[in-house]
Every structure is written in C-alpha cells, then in structure tokens.
Structure 1
Amino acid sequence: MTMNNTIKITLWSMVVIGLAVLGCRKKQEYYAPHSSSPSPSPASAPYRAEPQPVEPVAPVVNPTRETAWPFAPVDNREVSPSELWTTKNYLVILDSSGSMAERGCSSSESKLTVAKRAIEAFSRSVPADANLGFVLFDQRSDPRQLVSLGLNNREKFIVEVNSARDGGGTPLTEALHLAYQAINKEAVKQLGYGEYMIVVVTDGIANDEYSLHHLVTQITSESPVVIYTIGFCIGNRHTLNQPNTTIYKEANSPEELAEALKGVLAESEEFVVTEFEK
C-alpha cells in the first residue's frame, strides 16, 4: 500500500467517525424531553398565595327549650316525675311594709292583721295537689322566699305568714323578680307544663314603678306566668294594674280581700293552657 492510499484511508475513517458522533447527538436531542418555551427562572416565576384556612360557619340555632321559657339547658334539668308535670303553682307575695300597720279600711284591725288572716284562709283552700310558696318583704326590707314551692308545706306556710312584721318600704320589683325566679325553677322541673300564678297582696306603690312595669312586661311576654294582684285599700291606680296583661282586684274591706283571694283559684280553673308557646 502506497503512502497516498494510507492517507486516504485515514481521512475517510475520520470522516466516518465524525458523522457517527454527530448522528448520536441528534438522536439524543430528539428523544430528550423539551418544552417550546424556556423554563422560567425563580425570579420570574408567578406568585402563588398560600391557601388560607376557611372560617367555620356557625350553625343556625333555632329557638328551643334551651332558649325559650323555662330558661335552663336541656342537659341541666332536674325533672319531676311525669305525673307532676301538670301541677298548678301559686306563689304568694305579701307586702308587709310600714303602711300595712295602718288601721281603717272598714276594720279596727291593722291591714297586715287582716291580710295575714285572709292569706291563711286562702292557703287552706289551695288543693293538696298544687304547689304553694311564699315571698315576704317587711321591716328587714329585702324580699326573701320563706317557703319554697311545694305540696306538703301548708303549716310552714301559715307560720311564716303570721310571722310577718310591718315596716320598711315597698320593693315590689325585687319581690316579683324573686318570685319569677322561683316559678321558673319549678317550671324547669315540670318541662314548662302546668299552671303558674304569682299572687300579690299590697297596699302601696312600688319604690320603682318604671322597673316594675318593665318587669311585668317581660314576664308576661316571655312566659305563661299569671300575675294576680290584690290592691288592698289603694284603689286601682297601681303599676300592677295592666289590663289585658295582669289581673288586678280592688279590695276595700276584709270581706273583699277574702273574696279576691278566692278568685285566685277561680281564675286558675279557667286557665286551660298547659304549655306556653312563644
């Protein structure tokens, strides 16, 4: 083989090797994943906000016995036996303020003496299967519940009524509020069934008439509680005399007072609704 032939063979070998290498590169580029646009740099990447937590939506709470009268959570109730659910309830408030020491009003005795005797007679006529309770305000000023609503408490009721002593002002608002709390507590036990009456015997004007009027409106609008007031020797101009809202009776003598108290039970007989619905 001549020198020229050797050179030619060498050159052709180099050309073939070069073409082979170029072909491999093209094949790799063809099969490699590619995009029609260049990958964005971190600086040019679009901003994506972090997902924010969604605030939970409070469920709609429909009015139930937790939010309506009687006011007590369902899981916090002391419930009476079912046979007592329709029990009638009478809570008496006696005004034993200083003015009850006055005499007159068709009697030589003090108004307090007459009132105590009439209330004692009333308690003896309350049916044995009805609850009876007693709230008093007197010379010690602050109203207090001396007898809780109950069935077998008549003798205690009479003792507490006869222990009343005249003196002090006329905190009717506070007394009515206390009585309403006691009534509500009993209504919780009866699941709102039954009958509820607050009986007020008074001879004077409330210390705070505006607050009393507001409380009466509240009680009668949110509950089935009946407010039955006897104005003893004071006529009918009284905050507790609210036609179509309360029951108010005038009593200008011992006989009229006794008759008005009898009317409490008569009114109860006419009260046939067993559950209050707002």
Structure 2
Amino acid sequence: MRLGLTPALEPLAARVCPWLVGGAAPERDEPDDGVVRAMTLVLRLEREAPARTAVLEAAAAAALALCLDERAGPAGEWYDAVATWAGAGRIRKLSRRARTSHWRAVQEIDGVTVGELVRALVPGPVEEVPHEVRRLQIGGTDLPPDDPGPPPAGAPVVWLSPEVEQTVGKAAAQVGHASMILATVLAADGADPAVALDAAVRPASRADWHRWTDALDADPSGRAAWEEHGVAPVRDAGFTEVAPGTVTCIAARVP
C-alpha cells in the first residue's frame, strides 16, 4: 500500500488515477457476494435550516474523515466493512435527513460527525441498516441556494456542476465522492490526503467547467485534467437524478 492510500482509498486509485499507480483494476458493480453496500450520510436538517453550503462542506469532510479514521485501518474495528465497500467498484452513498431525537439517536451508530451537521456512518449492506437509520427519510433533502462567497485562500475546492440541478441530498453524496477522489489522487501523487478534509464547496463558473470538462473529454483517463489543471471529476453512476456518466462535481487541489 502506498503511503497515504488507506484501505478505503487504495481501491479507488486504480480507477481514478491509473497513471499514478500502474494500471487500472477491473471494474465490478458489486463484490462477489452480490450485496449492495453504501455509506449513509445523515444530514441534520432542523426546522431552522442550516446553510446549504455548510451542509455540503460537512458532508465532504465527514465522508473522507471516516475513510482516514484509524478505526478504518488494517488494525481497526471498521476495516472489514470499509474495505469491502470501497472495493465494490462504486463508492455508493445514500443521504438521509434527521432532526432532534433522530439526530441524537444516530450518534450512537458507528461513524464520524462533522460540524454537528453531517454524520457519515460506517458503510454496509443497504438492506441491513439499523432501525434508527431506516426510519430516516431519503427524499426531501433540499435547501435553498446560498451565497458563501469565494472559497478560502489556499483551500482545495469541490466545484459543483453549473449544468445539472441536484438536491442537497444528491449533492451531499457527490461531494463525499469528490473528497475521497481528491484524497486518493493526492496520496497517489505523494501528497497528504488529509488536505482534502478542508475542501470548500462552491458552484463552478461555466467557463471553468467547460475548460475542465474539455480536458476530460480529450483524455478520459483524467491524467491531463489533473496534470494541467489540478482537478479530478466525479462521474455519477446514474442511479438517481442524473444520467449515467454525468460529471456532477470536480475536485480541485490547492493551487
């Protein structure tokens, strides 16, 4: 295992940056047992709703924080669950919303909470989620757009597509993918994957978006986009809201 490529990130490297790790692994829809696994992101959406950007940034950080947690490492109690999920071929995530007592209840389930806004739960079979999670709604996870201003200087950024509309639940899953992908490419490139924990989330301009996606169209491996622009894409599997292969967001390393 290359330094920085944790059990959750190492299987991604062959898929998102094969030019850095010596070739791509075969794609698989699910592990050999056929079980569909996912990481649940529980979004805290109280009656006094938080800002959309704050929730998305917490989702990006929580998903990656779980993957970098020592409990997900080879000697950790979460290792088997995380490694099996990450090696499935797709890093599925499902967003659910909670408030008040339901939010407090999920704090007792294994996972990582960021900013008291999002808890990423240890991934597992989607048909075997605990009762406290199963009762949480998947739909209705939306918040109005906000104006967070420019991203902080020196921070990596997850840029949301200006061309597809996403509910906050969908976008939370996508930025969680993005933080993991960014951390993976950073680690494979010899940098610290934890840098991606501080990623800001912002809507991309159409000019920047087209520049990046043009690079991805010219070289679908992603190598040119990373080497020339420092960006890595999230291509959606198309299970909800968008068509398969849609680039929903693009993660950019620190300039």
TM-score by length of 2: 0.25
Asked which structure has the greater CA Rg, the reply is 1
Q: Which has the higher contact order (CA 8 A, sep 6+)?
A: 2
